[in-house]
Amino acid sequence: MIVVADSSGLIAALNVSDPEHSAAAKALDSAGYVIISPLALAEIDYVVTARASRWAADQVLDKVRARVQAGRATLAGVDARVFGTALSVRRRYEGLRLGLADAVNVALAADHRTITILTLDRRDFRAVRPLTGQAAFRLLPDDR
């Protein structure tokens, strides 16, 4: 199963002190292959540094790097086409005030023909429809 990982899902899965760690870690570990946007990495760095410290952010990011190095995940490229699709998604869902990282995840999900997203951002990803024609995204760890 291909999973696009949102920053919130990765933070929960890789930070043992997160309240949703157990469920998110199980979801991440059961994923066949994980797609990670560089925008998600930037959000992880920002959020974890703000909540805890730069050291804590580096610990989470190092766990992401280890997964990539082990071949369990990939850092997705965001080229002009993906960027354009993401901007189109933001315009379509203007009322949500969708962040660019989330819109890029929607575009990457379409590129990789998956509707599965590791996220705790239930509000946005329950409202946004996949670009591949399915009715809804499958959100992990909620939708097992």
pLDDT, tens digit (0-9, with 9 covering 90-100), for 74-86 = 999 999 999 999 9
Cα–Cα distance for residue pair 6/4, rounded to 1 Å: 7
Residue 144 reports pLDDT greater than 90: no
Domain ranges of the chain: 2-140
| Residue range 28-45: mean pLDDT, rounded | 97
Residue 7's pLDDT is: 98
CATH class name, domain 2-140: alpha beta
Whole-structure pTM value:
0.96
